[in-house]
Amino acid sequence: MPEVSQVHVDAALTNLAVGYRNPAFISDELAPIVPVRKQFDRYFIYDSEREAFRASDDRRAPGAEANEVDFALSTDSYHCEDHALTSVIPDEERDNADPPIQPNIDRTEFLRDKIDLNKEIELAALLTDDAVITQSETLSGDDQWSDFANSDPVAAVEAKKAAVIEAVQTMPNTLVLPYEVYAKVRVHPAVVDRAKFTTLNVIGPGLLAQIFDVERVLVPRALVNTAPPGQAASMAFVWGKDALLCHVPSRPALKTIAVAATFQWTGAAGSLAGNSVEMWREDRRKSDVIRVQRYYDQKAIAPGAAYLWKAAVA
């Protein structure tokens, strides 16, 4: 193990890790980052019994006390686990690298990408689990949105908005159509027919948001290699063929509804916004070592703020 004095927290590479972002990932858009000062703690759930929505008698007779009402607070907890990966840069590689090769930057981007991929996989598994998102249905046959003759994805989404509103008293504003679902939905006759009344010629996420009457349509395109190490790559889409309607706030704030959140510990020593890149020398290996690290916890904090279609397309 290196001595403490040999470890250098690289501020420049940490800035790179914070700024670099693969556009195929949607985890931070769907589960916005909530900076926290402690690695683990509790947070409040405000008025879980919906007392604010209960009609109460507010008439008061002269000289009488006003009827007393109140709401309840409950709590839940988070724990930001340590997520870190390292990579080694041998002296021989650094000494023989051509000018376009930047070993430090290349390793930092590589490690950040792998951590982000794991984060995407975890969130996709969480929000496409019908044991977590209990407002859900599994489509098959004629009901699947890939059946152009019998299905209508626009009507299906519109019908389930009421379920989300009833559950959390908030309008769903985000529709997640993973690439394989998006590819079918954008050419579905029910969608194409509605697009005739717009001035846009290309049916993309922006136009789909208008057709489905949501603020945005997210199209995750992240891929994962499911083959064991040493074998030919076998690529699969992380988000599969499920679709998700949900509410995501424009930014995390007190007393707001969000289907999910990413609690990120920003108090870790040497981190910048919860991200850190460390580099140290290992002379016995004639190498430099880079470690990218982040502490976070992704949680479904208001599962009722979503509706899930399993197997939305064949």
Over the stretch 33-60, which tens digit does the pLDDT of each residue have? 999 999 999 888 877 777 777 787 888 8
Residue 17: the pLDDT is 52
CA atoms within 13 A on the CB side of 79: 1
For tokens 């985000």, what's the residue?
174
Name the pLDDT band for 218 (thresholds 50, 70, 90): very high
Higher pLDDT, residue 258 or 21: 258
The model's pLDDT over 97-142, given as tens digits with 9 standing for 90+, comes to: 877 778 888 889 899 999 999 999 999 999 999 999 999 999 999 9
What domains are defined for the chain?
4-49+73-310 (3.90.1690.10)
| Confidence check: pLDDT of 65 > 90 | no
Residue 11: the pLDDT is 61
Name the pLDDT band for 18 (thresholds 50, 70, 90): low
**Cα separation, 260 vs 304, whole angstroms:** 10
- Taking the CA atoms of residue 257, residue 262, residue 263 and residue 264 in that order, the dihedral angle to the nearest 10 degrees is -140
Name the pLDDT band for 3 (thresholds 50, 70, 90): very low
Residue 1: the pLDDT is 45
Q: Which of 17, 18, 29, 83 is nearest to 220 (CA)?
A: 29
Mean of the pLDDT values across residues 255-270? 90
Displacement of CA 173 from its chain's centroid (Å): 15
Name the pLDDT band for 22 (thresholds 50, 70, 90): low
Q: Which two tokens stand for residue 54?
A: 């209960």
Angle (CA) 300 305 178, round 5°? 75
In the chain, the percentage of residues whose pLDDT exceeds 90 is 67
| Confidence check: pLDDT of 23 > 90 | no
Among 16-30, 65-79, 252-266, the least confident range: 16-30
| Confidence check: pLDDT of 15 > 80 | no
Q: Which two tokens stand for residue 189?
A: 């006759």
Residue 74: the pLDDT is 82
Helices 103-127 and 11-19 meet at what angle, rounded to 10? 40
Would you say the C-alpha torsion 261, 262, 268, 273 has a positive or negative sign? negative
Q: Do the bridges between strand 174-176 and strand 243-246 make them parallel or antiparallel, or are there none, so unpaired?
A: antiparallel
For tokens 């800035």, what's the residue?
15
CA atoms within 13 A on the CB side of 65: 3
